[in-house]
Amino acid sequence: MTHICQYGTHRVIEPANALPQNAQKIDNTLPIRSNELLVEVDTLNIDSASFTQMKEACGGDLKKVGEMICGIVAERGKQQNPVTGSGGMLLGTVKEIGPEYPNKNGFTVGDKMASLVSLSLTPLHIDEIIEIFPERDQVKIKGHAIFFPSGPVAKIPTDMDQILALAVLDVAGAPAQAYKLVKPGQTVVIIGAGGKSGSLCSVVAREILGNTGKLIAIEPGKGGQARLKELECCDHILDVDATDPLAVQRSISDLTNGEMADLVINVASVDNIEMSSIMAAKVDGTVYLFSMATSFSKAALGAEGIGSDALLIVGNGYAPNNDEISLKVIREHKKLRELFERVYC
């Protein structure tokens, strides 16, 4: 019998010695092992960069997007976009709890849950795709998923709609990291501020900055700009192309008298904005690259090429208690919750 592992290596089919995330193929079959959690899946929340890539590859045809998702899962045993490498997360109902599963959340069969670990490493089986919601990167399915002891999961709270909770938990790492990184008095730039993770980070940044410092949003989309104005948390909202690093640098320089930003948070699901993020920051500033559209080799080599000593932080979607932190933000900020309920539910 294969030795069970807390990281799920017993599910890896190929290549040898891989962990589930970087494996080409994993085992998504039943029954579950003694240290696993079985979930009946209701909704996949596809990573924004991944969904955008699939939608563009399929010419906007949602039926083809569904076929592509089913094809990826059939081939890999998980939803891991072969182009972006990213996955997403899911919403479901606890169906079975292995006797050796640690169950830190105190799950019982029938509990609603959301994953806080990527679909790119989660064993997933799809019976059928029921509906696709392109405006919020969500796919309603019938199927099952399997979780290992090492994978963070969360109970769906009872004081909000589960789709609202899913939308917030999907990007829980971003506001949790913002709480760690933003300091009073800083100049903070958020690229892609009008989106889901961007609006959460903007609210967190304003909360920490208070009347100090400066919060600058880069958001070329008219819808995103309108949402940010509604939240009333940014000092400046810039309509500038984030793929043009010199334009971004000039804009931030103009607003800061050449001092640039102490902290740049990049949450935009757009290719080729690594250098805009770095060039918006001070030479010794901090750049948090949350988006899975980021090429970290471009960021590292690009920073070297312009003589920037900025601290580059990989966008790890996990932070301790990130589920509690992100849900607390949505509970405490009425305008943000109303926005999420209108746009993402």
CA atoms of 287 and 21, how far apart (whole Å): 25
Query: Which pLDDT score, from 0 to 100, does residue 73 have?
Result: 98
Same domain, residue pair 212 and 66: no
Sign of CA dihedral 117, 120, 122, 126: positive
Asked if residue 1 is part of any domain, the answer here is no
Cβ-based neighbours of 259, under 8 Å, separated by 6 or more: 187, 282
User: Distance from first CA to last CA of the chain, Å, rounded?
Assistant: 44
Mean pLDDT of 227-240: 97
The predicted pLDDT at position 291 comes to 82
* Boundary (domain end) residue, out of 125, 156, 187: 156
Per-residue pLDDT at 2: 57
The CATH number linked to 256 is: 3.40.50.720
pLDDT in tens, 285-323: 999 999 877 888 999 999 999 999 999 998 877 888 999
Report the alpha-carbon angle 141-65-145, nearest 5.
Answer: 30
Task: Output the pLDDT for position 194.
Answer: 96
- Within this chain, do residues 98 and 183 fall inside the same structural domain, yes or no? no
Check the CA dihedral 229-233-239-243 and report its sign. Answer: negative
Range of the domain at 257: 173-343
CA gap 3, 56 in Å, rounded: 41
Do 294 and 337 reside in the same domain of the chain?
A: yes
Q: How confident is the model at residue 190 (pLDDT cuts 50, 70, 90)?
A: very high
Does residue 182 share a domain with residue 148? no
The side-by-side arrangement of strands in the sheet containing 236-238 is 236-238, 214-218, 187-191, 261-266, 281-289, 311-314
Q: How high is the pLDDT of residue 222?
A: 95
Give me the chain's average pLDDT, please: 95
Using pLDDT thresholds of 50, 70 and 90, give the confidence band for residue 269. confident
User: Model-level pTM greater than 0.85?
Assistant: yes
Tally of residues, the chain: 345
Which band of pLDDT confidence, cut at 50, 70 and 90, is reported for residue 1?
A: very low
Give me the pLDDT at residue 294, please.
Answer: 85
Can you tell me which residue has the tokens 């800083």?
186
Q: What is the DSSP letter of 271?
A: S
User: 5-48, pLDDT tens digit by residue?
Assistant: 999 999 999 999 999 999 999 999 999 999 999 999 999 999 88
**For range 79-92, the mean pLDDT:** 94
The SS3 assignment for 158 reads: coil
Judgement on whether residues 179 and 277 belong to the same structural domain of the protein: yes
- The count of other CB atoms within 10 Å of the CB of residue 40 is 14
* Pairwise CA distance, residues 31 & 38, whole Å: 9
Number of folded domains that form the chain: 2
Look at residues 156, 188, 215 and tell me which one is the last residue of a structural domain. Answer: 156
Torsion of CA 14, 17, 18, 19, to 10 degrees: 120
pLDDT of residue 266: 96
Domain identity same for 149 and 225 = no
Q: Are residues 334 and 209 in the same domain?
A: yes
- pLDDT attached to residue 305: 96
Strand order from edge to edge, sheet including 138-147: 124-133, 138-147, 37-46, 88-97, 112-115, 153-155
- Taken in order 268, 270, 271, 273, the sign of the CA dihedral is negative
Judge if 86 and 15 occupy the same domain: yes
pLDDT of residue 48: 86
Please tell me whether residues 189 and 325 are part of one structural domain. Answer: yes
